[in-house]
A and B are shown apart, each in its own frame.
Chain A
């Protein structure tokens, strides 16, 4: 079945630096990809999504890159702030549902 994996369980960055969180998926038929942010004890919040007909999409301080050839997805956060500290999940479409990765914890230090 479909599997979704994140490359690093924890990422530590200095405030103001850029952060890059990576995700790999296995199903080449997946056509929708989404990133969520989850703060402790709360439900995941939508950050940004991308469909398979695109390879890059930008939001406010965030960019998602999709490489369908190697089945890889990344989330870039520009000028990381303390408020960005959270767990980040990627999710990939699989027929009628999403498959979630295990998450990367982003720690921002001053």
Chain B
């Protein structure tokens, strides 16, 4: 089956710890994206990447970091510098260009206490 996987579905961390969220796709897409969603809100772009070894900041990149060492993988690290990390995180992929459907993973709900 082709698609995007995110793991884990639920993640709990203590304040002050860094945590890495996994995102893998087997759709052969060049572009990958990370979004944050807060209750009752839309999707806000954290980082995106259009090619291996390159990525760009989105609207809310502060306190987050990413890497893109492989086409299939785009992990997101939520650092201790992120002031309000508790949220639902969504990963997506698409063909390059911004004018194609983005395919979403099932999401990871991160709770930091």
Contact = CB atoms under 8 A, between A and B. Distances in A.
Interface of A: 9, 31-32, 34, 36, 41-46, 49, 51, 89, 91, 93-98, 100-103
A95 B98 contact: yes
B52 interface: no
A49 B96 CA distance: 16
Contacts of A41: 88, 107, 109
Given A44-B104, A97-B98, 9 more contacts: A32-B100, A36-B104, A43-B92, A46-B101, A46-B103, A89-B43, A93-B98, A97-B33, A100-B35
Interface of B: 4, 31, 33, 35, 40-45, 48, 50, 58, 88, 90, 92, 96-107, 109
Contact of B58 (A34, A42, A97, A103): A97
A37 B48 CA distance: 22
A9 B40 CA distance: 9
B42 A43 contact: no
A46 B27 CA distance: 15
Main secondary structure of the interface of A (DSSP, over half): strand
The 8 closest A-B pairs by CB, nearest first: A43-B104, A32-B99, A102-B42, A96-B98, A100-B43, A100-B42, A93-B98, A93-B99
B50 A96 contact: yes
A43 B41 contact: no
Contacts of B104: 36, 43-45
A31 B100 CA distance: 11
B38 to A, nearest CB: 11
